[in-house]
Amino acid sequence: MAVEWVRLKLDLDAFDDARFEPYLRSCRQTGVEFTTMAAVGDTAEHRRALYDLNKTCAADIPERGEFYTYDEYVAQRVETPTFDPRGVVLALDGESWIGMATTSIQPEGHAFSEMTGLLASHRGKGISLAMKLLAIRFARSQDARLLRTIHHPANTAAIGMNRRLGFVDDGPHVSTV
């Protein structure tokens, strides 16, 4: 059956950082901390932790299908020219990695939101908005002026999260079979 993928974009020049800063503050007040893969170290152990978190969260993406093996993940998602550990935002609850938001800078100059995910136990508290704010700050620090993403049309949570941040349609939906 054909899938009408939802393409979204955010104008980073117009994005109002201060509007979303309260989410970051309130998450920190509840004990959630934020860091990046660059800060904790892009080590084999941390790549495995990132993989585990990504795999768990991706299981809730509609029609995602089978996830990569660890070796496939490293080859296709980590050891790529656009992977940047500074663009891998992590949310931590104590020692536990509970959320991630990864952003790449594309050769064309725009940023691309690769994956945002939160363990189900921590959803509905604005943590994803706080992670995306940090992702947006990373994209802006790299002089990107546009942040793009694409979602399955049934992924109402992810589409809602991005529209909440101000993402708008990025051209017509792309149909695949």
Ligand X SMILES: CC(C)(COP(=O)(O)OP(=O)(O)OC[C@H]1O[C@@H](n2cnc3c(N)ncnc32)[C@H](O)[C@@H]1OP(=O)(O)O)[C@@H](O)C(=O)NCCC(=O)NCCS
Question: Which residues would be at the binding site for ligand X (CB under 6 A)?
Answer: 57, 60-61, 115-118, 123-129, 155-158, 160-161, 164
Q: How far is the CB of 117 from ligand X (least distance, A)?
A: 4
Q: How far is the CB of 55 from ligand X (least distance, A)?
A: 11
Nearer to ligand X, 115 or 134 (CB): 115
134 CB-contact burial (10 Å; exposed 0-12 / middle 13-18 / buried 19+): buried
Nearer to ligand X, 92 or 157 (CB): 157
Strand ranges inside the chain, DSSP E: 3-11, 32-36, 88-93, 96-105, 111-118, 146-151, 168-169, 174-176
Nearer to ligand X, 44 or 167 (CB): 167
Residue nearest to ligand X (CB): 160
Distances in Å between the alpha carbon of 125 and those of 24, 32, 71? Answer: 11, 11, 33
Q: Are 120 and 129 in contact (CB under 8 A)?
A: no
Nearer to ligand X, 17 or 143 (CB): 17
Q: Cα angle at 38 between 33 and 39, to 5 degrees?
A: 45
Structure token digits, residue 21: 């800063």
Nearer to ligand X, 99 or 144 (CB): 99
Q: How far is the CB of 107 from ligand X (least distance, A)?
A: 21
CA–CA dist 148, 84 (Å, integer): 16
Q: How far is the CB of 27 from ligand X (least distance, A)?
A: 9
Q: How far is the CB of 69 from ligand X (least distance, A)?
A: 19
